[in-house]
Structure 1
Amino acid sequence: VESQACLDNVLVAAAGLILPPEPPTRVESRFTANAEDWHWFGGSSDFRYDLDGYICSQNSGDPDWFFRAPTKFLGDLSLSYGNSLSFDIRIAGSDQDKVTVDDVVIVGNNGTTMRYNTPLNPGLAWTSYTIGLSETDGWVDTATGEALTRADFEALLRVVHELRIRGEYVSWTSREESETCIDNVVLTNFEPPVITQPSDQTGSQSNQGGGVIEMTGGGRCDRARCKRSPSGSWSARVFTVSHN
């Protein structure tokens, strides 16, 4: 039986083989039924779930507060390297005057922490953010303020203890009552490689009926797991399972 292995928009003829549904392409919280075990961190009050499908909390003074992600967003996030974290935030209050530098915080092993500063604070309407997860995307070491190396970034992602997303955007000195809400939190933790100019493929079948397809080609390769040869071509190994 002839079937196809599909790498995003690249079709690869592979008799009897298709891409498996592993691993999950994303972890997400859409809040369609409940708060999904999200909590707050810091000086927050009146944390609540809204029946329209999002969660909110209010500022209650120092220290600054954050939305804290549940267990499904933690642990070994190695496959998230080179992918992204996205979410939507809005503020109910007219005085968004706080200067922030740590809008997203990831805490790794031994308390090692990195932070990301979004270029624009949210407003009264929903504001969408998509943040790249690599050392070139603007993350810095919280302790030093310096950019991380790739080795440091990958090491931190291997053991993630906390993921926090800022909820405090109003200075407490303003005495402005404000509420921040968050929705559509998505952590992309795997995507198949894309080679824009595929030139060759080889397949090897295992005893269990699965195997590996080796893709090579030119153009560009859009995923962190791709490898580039000295000649400039790309290669990507894709695990497959049998399909009849």
Structure 2
Amino acid sequence: MALPLLLAWLPAAHADPVASSTFDTGDDGWEVVSTIGYEGPANWSATGGHPGGLIWAQDPDTGAFGFAAPATFLGNISAAYGHDLTFDIAAYQMPDQPTSWVGMRGTNGLELICFYDTPTSVYPNWHGRAVTMTEDAGWIRVSDGLPPTSAEFASVLASLDGLVILAEFVDGLQTDVSGLDNVILLPEPATSGLVLAAAGAALLGRARRQRTAPGD
């Protein structure tokens, strides 16, 4: 499988990451790309997702295909270090390969991939998957198959030029169809703030109870 060729068809970065796509109102700019040069918009459906909307694609050619993230997921995503990239994936035909991968490319040309387990049953079943954004979480360099150094991994996150989720689960089958939903790189800022606020309120409440406890 020509991994560098697939990464080469990813769109260039133009903005800071938004961090999530739930596809409830559209395709969010995600594209379908392949190892032999196909590039086009993903199909979107308002229903059938996990829940709500989803994007899907049928194998466009004889190469391997995947979903390429829009510019809102690219740029400087250094804040993602130590977090998970999570997504829900669906296969419309039973996969004949045990693993697939997520690929990243920095503006410096460094390409990294991290493997994930393919779905174990077919649509309408959805399968949650995650890859961790640290250099020791299974990422390897496309060039030689070795793990990246900390500096190399940081350089990719600091200037991410492409992100793809490979969705070719049946080798050689051009009727292969895959679906994608709920791609989340980082918690939404509002959600993070609410979680921190709730945690802070709980700690303050505990402190007040301790100060006013009998015998104090």
Deviation at 1:109, TM superposition (A): 1.8
Bigger helix fraction? 2
The residue type paired with residue 45 of structure 2 is D
Larger radius of gyration: 1
Is the Cα contact below 8 Å between 1:44 and 1:65 reproduced in 2?
A: no
Query: Partner of 2:153 in structure 1?
Result: 153
Distance in 1 of aligned mates of 2:114 and 2:82? 15
Q: Indicate if the aligned counterparts of 1:44 and 1:60 stay in contact, CA closer than 8 A.
A: no
Whether 1:74 and 2:74 are equivalent positions in the alignment is yes
Report what 1:121 is aligned to.
118
Which residue in the other structure is 1:109 paired with?
107
Q: 2:43 aligns with which of 45, 48, 53?
A: 48
Alpha-carbon shift at residue 26 of structure 1 (Å):
6.5
Instruction: Determine if contact 1:47/1:58 at 8 Å carries over to the other structure.
Output: no
Q: CA deviation at 1:44?
A: 7.6
Change (3 A) 1:73 1:56: same
Letter of the 1:105 counterpart? G
Q: Which has the higher strand share?
A: 1
Deviation at 1:82, TM superposition (A): 0.9
Partners of 2:31 and 2:40 within 8 A in 1: no
Residue 86, structure 1, aligned to residue 86, structure 2 = yes
Mapped to 1, the partners of 2:71 and 2:41 lie a distance apart of 22
Give the match for residue 163 of structure 1.
Answer: 163
Tell me, yes or no, if the aligned pair for 1:44 and 1:59 is still in contact at 8 Å. Answer: no
Residue pair 1:97, 1:171 contacting (<8 A) in 2 also: yes
- Aligned residue identity for 2:43: R
In structure 1, runs of 5+ residues without a counterpart are: 1-23, 195-244
Root-mean-square deviation over aligned CA pairs:
2.5
Which letter maps to 1:72?
A: T
Does the 8 Å CA contact 2:17/2:76 hold for their aligned counterparts?
Answer: no
* SS in structure 2 at match of 1:152: helix
**TM-score, normalised via structure 1 length:** 0.62
> Residue 31 of structure 2 contacts residue 39 of structure 2 at CA under 8 Å; is this kept in 1?
no
Please list the CA deviations of residues 167-208 of structure 1 after superposition, one character each: whole Å capped at 9, or x if unmatched: 111111xx462210000000017869x9xxxxxxxxxxxxxx
Percent identity of equivalent pairs: 26
- In the TM superposition, what whole-angstrom CA distance separates every residue of 1:47-75 from its partner, at most 9, and x where no partner exists? 41011100000113322111000111000
Deviation at 1:98, TM superposition (A): 3.2
Structure 1 segments (4+ residues) deviating >4 Å: 43-46, 189-192
Per the alignment, residue 216 of structure 1 pairs with: none
Residues 200-211 of structure 1 aligned to structure 2 (within 5 Å): none
Question: Partner of 1:154: helix, strand, or coil?
Answer: helix
User: Structure 2 vs 1, CA of residues 45 and 180 (structure 1 numbering), >3 Å: closer, same or farther?
Assistant: farther
Q: Distance in 2 between matches of 1:40 and 1:72?
A: 16
2:93–2:176 CA contact under 8 A, matched in 1: yes
